[in-house]
Chains A and B, each alone.
Chain A
Amino acid sequence: MKLNLKIWRQQDAKSKGKMTDYSLGGVEGDMSFLEMLDILNEQLINKGEEPVVFDHDCREGICGSCSLMINGEPHGPDRMVTTCQLHMRKFNDGDTIVIEPFRAKAFPVIKDLMVDRTSFDRIQQSGGYISVNTSGNTVDANAIPINKHAADEAMDAATCIGCGACVAACKNASAMLFTSAKVSQFALLPQGQVEATERVQNMVRQMDLEGFGNCTNTGACEIECPKGISLENIARLNREYYSANLKG
């Protein structure tokens, strides 16, 4: 199929960017979206132009690197997939596809479609861990029985890949779904109880410091999340946060 691409090009963080039009033929349904961009880039390189820069790595939907806004939706029109797992069979011959970077104050553009998501790392650094030493002197793993239901729910929250689609989808650029996923994982497990108060307070403080917006419960994050992280996590974060503040 033949496609009209409108792609955001921006030289670096300081330069002004603009949408640029490309026409691309020979696209097949079995190609992933990124493989389609590979072909475009190969053509640009052969013409001596700079290829389009975008983040990608595992190309199997788990590393969370890829981060494209496709026709106004993070990771494109398909549900429960990252951009690398989106296939061109979801598009039709002659389609115009608009490709932009994830946009948020806390995700500044580095170049073209690549953004800086280190704000996510700093939220995790502020409290997304359990303070146990890794020296190996711990209790036997089965000494802490965990209710299967709680373990499964913790696992569901823990599957967040940190891609930032939730932020990109949110009109407030809120990072609540991302932050709540980690808070929930530990809130659901007995190992996480000890530091629960400080964890939620520190992570929320850092989230605010980074310039992410507030949550107004539109639920766009849940719909666009490629891993199906549930809004229930945000409710749980709020509960954890209020009870932490009551404790002081």
Chain B
Amino acid sequence: MGILDSKVPSGPLAEKWTSYKDHIELVNPANKRNIDIIVVGTGLAGGAAAATLAELGYNVKTFCYQDSPRRAHSIAAQGGINAAKNYQGDGDSNYRLFYDTVKGGDYRSREANVYRLAEVSANIIDQCVAQGVPFAREYGGLLDNRSFGGVLVSRTFYAKGQTGQQLLLGAYSAMNRQINRGKIQSHTRHEMMDLVKVDGKARGIIARNLVTGEIERHSAHAVVLATGGYGNVFFLSTNAMGSNVMAAWRAHRKGAFFANPCYTQIHPTCIPVSGDHQSKLTLMSESLRNDGRIWVPKRKEDAVAIQEGKLKPLQLKEEDRDYYLERRYPAFGNLVPRDVASRAAKERCDAGFGVNKTGEAVYLDFTSAIQRYGKEQALTQGLHNADDKEVTKLGKAVIEAKYGNLFQMYEKIVDENPYETPMMIYPAVHYTMGGLWVDYNLQTTVEGCYAAGEANFSDHGANRLGASALMQGLADGYFVLPYTIGDYLSNDIRTGPIATDSPEFDTAEKEVKARLDKLMGGKGLHSVDSYHKKLGKIMWNKCGMSRNAKELQEAIDEISALRADFWENVKIPGIADGMNQELEKAGRVADFLELGELFAKDALTRNESCGGHFREEYQTPEGEAMRDDENFKFASAWEYKGEPKDAVLHKEELVYENIELKTRSYK
């Protein structure tokens, strides 16, 4: 086992980042013009990094598989972005945001990184407002906030239910400004196929032009991977269809350690699965838990009647409903963190209290909120004699203003009106806390290769709090990487352009082409999707919301066998040197088939329950997660050694100097 150096600066927690910035090496503006940086992925982290690095003067080349950077999946984030502004005067501070994030992550994240995140969070809001991001406002013209799970303050800024879209379009506009100045060369419909290392340093990538099929060489002095998470290893998730692990996994194979793959976030409020044809799952924002109350029937016979369609939820009296989150967690109620809410829903459904045909759904009910808001509106509008109908109408209008687009989306998908009948929701794979291991500089274990946003592992520990992904992506891109990468590149001012005709590029290109040939040369028995669906089933059943040693071992064996079958028998029509969407999918699924096995191995190694990782063997009598700080207070960083079963574990011991480790309680 090796030792990982997190390179956390010394000094008091609150001064680390400032003092770090005061002492790093800088690159003079004239020299920046001679330095190239590749940014793969153009979501919040990648787009923000590309814009800022270009603005500083570096030559930036961006790559994304979509037809435009504006379509990266950050766009789908709904509820909001956290920032320790304390505009509400409710006691928020950098420390509290830091504390909530570390606690929310079940004490498995790196203190210094999280504090830095909290520290720069306020600046993100300033920056985005300056860019013209239309955040929600109060009547006085100041910014509005809402609450999210796992915290006791209102620190979430939002733009209706489309916060991710607005922030991404902000970063996209900042990129556009640099593209217009010629400082960013944007390569869309391109996929990174491999990382190229020269003398041990990341010096470029091999990319495939998805329209022409051409294999291209691109060099740079540093490579930033901001390629998102790997939730699609489950096939069904809230990720976009194209979201994949390829770039990160290719880097992993070239020496970048992969950290905590088993830390996955299962989001509690998604639209339940409707059938086998389903291609993806849709999230209903956590912000709905501000006003929605989650329940199932108290009596099993009522649940069965509902499942059979003989009983409607509105026919069930208040006293016959079990608001199980309010019952189990009175302090946080419906706003417990995501991992806790998801497991509680699974527990009720497994016990037979689910409310849809398959028994895999719970209710999210807005009736009380509609009444509460309606009464408030009636008062403020001077309607003292408003009847029930009037109150309900006023209340619905408030709910519509807050969550209108989400309600509409629900109705389109499920064909039920959520203003009239409670929504049905069920947990689904949403976000991956694990990712490429990075040090304080966001550098992976490959020199010159950086990872930002969801693609890295550093800030959320074993569970991410709501509205923190947008915060982390933008913090990494706008405010962290531009400093840390400069420190590294200060050694490269005399290097000159990196040649693409070196033997390293030759070899990398040859390997990429050989891999594509191998994929195209399968026996042609089964489609790529059929393998992806099989992998997803194994992952969901054996590596999902709860895990145990026996099933994890089975998962490892099954995935390994499925991978061998895939390479032997996959069927890809068409040609490699042209547009071929099946070939694109095949490359991604091939990497998921390796990652999935490492995921299960990581989960099997971690003999404790923490955050999103729940091992059935390690729980309290009440069914709460039981952490083992004595033996597992570390981040697992896996080194690639060929087959996933041969991966070597390195441990980064997590040091808590500023927070006392406690059992996480939301009761």
- Please report which residues of chain A, range 32-84, place their CB below 8 angstroms from some CB of chain B when the two chains form the complex: 32, 34-35, 38-39, 42, 44-46, 48-51, 53, 55-65, 78, 80-81
Enumerate chain B residues within 8 angstroms of A248, measured Cβ to Cβ: none
Q: How far is the CB of A198 from chain B (nearest CB, A)?
A: 11
Q: How far is the CB of A191 from chain B (nearest CB, A)?
A: 5
Q: Could you list 29 examples of A-B contacts with CB < 8 Å? A: A28-B277, A30-B274, A30-B275, A35-B279, A50-B574, A57-B71, A63-B72, A63-B73, A87-B413, A110-B211, A120-B68, A124-B70, A124-B173, A127-B180, A129-B131, A129-B176, A130-B131, A132-B130, A134-B55, A136-B123, A136-B478, A141-B126, A142-B87, A142-B142, A142-B143, A146-B141, A155-B166, A162-B70, A191-B131
The answer to whether A134 and B478 have CB atoms under 8 Å apart is yes
Most interface-central of B241, B524, B530 (chain A CB within 10 A) = B241
In angstroms, Cα B123 to Cα A220, docked, is 42
Enumerate chain B residues within 8 angstroms of A161, measured Cβ to Cβ: 165
In angstroms, Cα B188 to Cα A57, docked, is 14
Q: How far is the CB of B393 from chain A (nearest CB, A)?
A: 21
The answer to whether B134 and A145 have CB atoms under 8 Å apart is no
Interface pick from B254-262, B551-559, B575-583: B575-583
Interface pick from A1-9, A92-100, A111-119, A230-238: A111-119
**Closest residue of B by beta carbon distance from A126:** B180
Most interface-central of A87, A129, A161 (chain B CB within 10 A) = A129
In angstroms, Cα B583 to Cα A53, docked, is 12
A38-B277, A60-B282, A145-B140 known; A186+B132 contact, CB < 8 A: yes
**Is residue B137 contacting chain A, with contact meaning CB distance below 8 A?**
yes
In angstroms, Cα B39 to Cα A226, docked, is 31
A58-B73, A81-B412, A129-B176 known; A144+B129 contact, CB < 8 A: yes
**Is residue B560 contacting chain A, with contact meaning CB distance below 8 A?**
no
**Is residue B346 contacting chain A, with contact meaning CB distance below 8 A?**
no
**Closest residue of A by beta carbon distance from B477:** A134
Enumerate chain B residues within 8 angstroms of A12, measured Cβ to Cβ: 578-579
**Is residue A128 contacting chain B, with contact meaning CB distance below 8 A?**
yes
Most interface-central of A28, A49, A50, A125 (chain B CB within 10 A) = A125
The one of A46, A128, A152 in contact with B173, judged by C-beta atoms closer than 8 angstroms, is A128
A51-B581, A159-B162 known; A130+B140 contact, CB < 8 A: no
- Please report which residues of chain B, range 44-71, place their CB below 8 angstroms from some CB of chain A when the two chains form the complex: 48, 51-52, 55-56, 66-71
**Is residue B417 contacting chain A, with contact meaning CB distance below 8 A?**
no
**Is residue B630 contacting chain A, with contact meaning CB distance below 8 A?**
no
A30-B274, A58-B75 known; A130+B173 contact, CB < 8 A: yes
A151-B136, A155-B166, A159-B162 known; A62+B75 contact, CB < 8 A: yes
The one of B72, B129, B275 in contact with A28, judged by C-beta atoms closer than 8 angstroms, is B275
**Closest residue of B by beta carbon distance from A55:** B67
**Is residue B465 contacting chain A, with contact meaning CB distance below 8 A?**
no
The answer to whether B141 and A145 have CB atoms under 8 Å apart is yes
- Please report which residues of chain B, range 95-133, place their CB below 8 angstroms from some CB of chain A when the two chains form the complex: 120, 123, 125-132
A138-B130, A148-B138 known; A58+B176 contact, CB < 8 A: no
Q: How far is the CB of A192 from chain B (nearest CB, A)?
A: 6
The answer to whether A58 and B76 have CB atoms under 8 Å apart is yes
A42-B527, A138-B126 known; A132+B131 contact, CB < 8 A: yes
The answer to whether A151 and B68 have CB atoms under 8 Å apart is no
Enumerate chain A residues within 8 angstroms of B69, measured Cβ to Cβ: 121
Enumerate chain A residues within 8 angstroms of B521, measured Cβ to Cβ: none
User: Which A residues fall within an 8 A CB radius of B?
Assistant: 12, 28-32, 34-35, 38-39, 42, 44-46, 48-51, 53, 55-65, 78, 80-81, 85, 87, 89, 110-111, 114, 116-118, 120-121, 124-136, 138-142, 144-148, 151-152, 154-155, 158-159, 161-162, 185-186, 189, 191-192
**Is residue B660 contacting chain A, with contact meaning CB distance below 8 A?**
no
The answer to whether B134 and A85 have CB atoms under 8 Å apart is no
Enumerate chain B residues within 8 angstroms of A61, measured Cβ to Cβ: 409, 412
The answer to whether A189 and B578 have CB atoms under 8 Å apart is no
The one of A38, A155, A191 in contact with B129, judged by C-beta atoms closer than 8 angstroms, is A191
**Closest residue of A by beta carbon distance from B144:** A148
Q: How far is the CB of B106 from chain A (nearest CB, A)?
A: 29
**Is residue B353 contacting chain A, with contact meaning CB distance below 8 A?**
no
Enumerate chain B residues within 8 angstroms of A50, measured Cβ to Cβ: 573-574
**Is residue B146 contacting chain A, with contact meaning CB distance below 8 A?**
no
Enumerate chain A residues within 8 angstroms of B159, measured Cβ to Cβ: 155, 158
A159-B165, A162-B68 known; A56+B241 contact, CB < 8 A: yes
- Which A-B residue pairs are the 9 nearest by beta carbons? A145-B141, A129-B173, A155-B134, A141-B129, A154-B134, A151-B137, A57-B240, A63-B71, A125-B176
The answer to whether A59 and B132 have CB atoms under 8 Å apart is no
Enumerate chain A residues within 8 angstroms of B179, measured Cβ to Cβ: 125
A-B contact count (CB 8 A): 220
Enumerate chain B residues within 8 angstroms of A146, measured Cβ to Cβ: 137, 141
The one of B85, B160, B180 in contact with A125, judged by C-beta atoms closer than 8 angstroms, is B180
**Is residue B623 contacting chain A, with contact meaning CB distance below 8 A?**
no
**Is residue B497 contacting chain A, with contact meaning CB distance below 8 A?**
no
Q: How far is the CB of B50 from chain A (nearest CB, A)?
A: 10
Query: Chain A: interface secondary structure?
Result: loop
The answer to whether B73 and A129 have CB atoms under 8 Å apart is no
The one of A65, A118, A140, A189 in contact with B134, judged by C-beta atoms closer than 8 angstroms, is A189
Enumerate chain A residues within 8 angstroms of B241, measured Cβ to Cβ: 56-59
Residue-by-residue, is B163-188 near A (CB-CB < 8 Å gives 1, otherwise 0)?
00110010011101101100000101
User: Which B residues fall within an 8 A CB radius of A?
Assistant: 48, 51-52, 55-56, 66-73, 75-76, 85, 87, 120, 123, 125-132, 134-143, 159-160, 162, 165-166, 169, 172-174, 176-177, 179-180, 186, 188, 211, 238, 240-242, 274-275, 277-280, 282-283, 408-409, 412-413, 415, 478-479, 482, 524, 527, 529-530, 571, 573-574, 578-579, 581-582
Q: How far is the CB of B302 from chain A (nearest CB, A)?
A: 25
The answer to whether B71 and A134 have CB atoms under 8 Å apart is no
The answer to whether B125 and A64 have CB atoms under 8 Å apart is no
The answer to whether A130 and B66 have CB atoms under 8 Å apart is no
In angstroms, Cα B127 to Cα A132, docked, is 8
Enumerate chain A residues within 8 angstroms of B120, measured Cβ to Cβ: 136
Q: How far is the CB of A205 from chain B (nearest CB, A)?
A: 13
In angstroms, Cα B413 to Cα A85, docked, is 7
Q: How far is the CB of A201 from chain B (nearest CB, A)?
A: 14
The answer to whether B71 and A64 have CB atoms under 8 Å apart is yes
The answer to whether A189 and B132 have CB atoms under 8 Å apart is yes
Q: How far is the CB of B358 from chain A (nearest CB, A)?
A: 13
In angstroms, Cα B167 to Cα A158, docked, is 11
In angstroms, Cα B169 to Cα A136, docked, is 17
Enumerate chain B residues within 8 angstroms of A34, measured Cβ to Cβ: 279
In angstroms, Cα B48 to Cα A118, docked, is 20
**Closest residue of B by beta carbon distance from A39:** B277
Enumerate chain B residues within 8 angstroms of A56, measured Cβ to Cβ: 241
The one of B71, B169, B582 in contact with A45, judged by C-beta atoms closer than 8 angstroms, is B582
Q: How far is the CB of A74 from chain B (nearest CB, A)?
A: 16
Enumerate chain A residues within 8 angstroms of B68, measured Cβ to Cβ: 117-118, 120-121, 162
Enumerate chain A residues within 8 angstroms of B85, measured Cβ to Cβ: 141
The one of B66, B141, B408, B478 in contact with A147, judged by C-beta atoms closer than 8 angstroms, is B141
The answer to whether B529 and A42 have CB atoms under 8 Å apart is yes
Enumerate chain A residues within 8 angstroms of B579, measured Cβ to Cβ: 12, 53, 110-111, 114
Enumerate chain B residues within 8 angstroms of A129, measured Cβ to Cβ: 131-132, 173-174, 176-177
The answer to whether A60 and B280 have CB atoms under 8 Å apart is yes
Q: How far is the CB of B176 from chain A (nearest CB, A)?
A: 4
In angstroms, Cα B413 to Cα A78, docked, is 12
In angstroms, Cα B76 to Cα A152, docked, is 20
Q: How far is the CB of A166 from chain B (nearest CB, A)?
A: 16
Enumerate chain A residues within 8 angstroms of B482, measured Cβ to Cβ: 135
The one of B131, B134, B278, B280 in contact with A151, judged by C-beta atoms closer than 8 angstroms, is B134
The one of A60, A78, A192 in contact with B409, judged by C-beta atoms closer than 8 angstroms, is A60
Most interface-central of A80, A89, A136 (chain B CB within 10 A) = A136
The one of A60, A139, A158, A191 in contact with B169, judged by C-beta atoms closer than 8 angstroms, is A158
Enumerate chain A residues within 8 angstroms of B51, measured Cβ to Cβ: 134
Enumerate chain B residues within 8 angstroms of A63, measured Cβ to Cβ: 66, 71-73, 75-76, 240
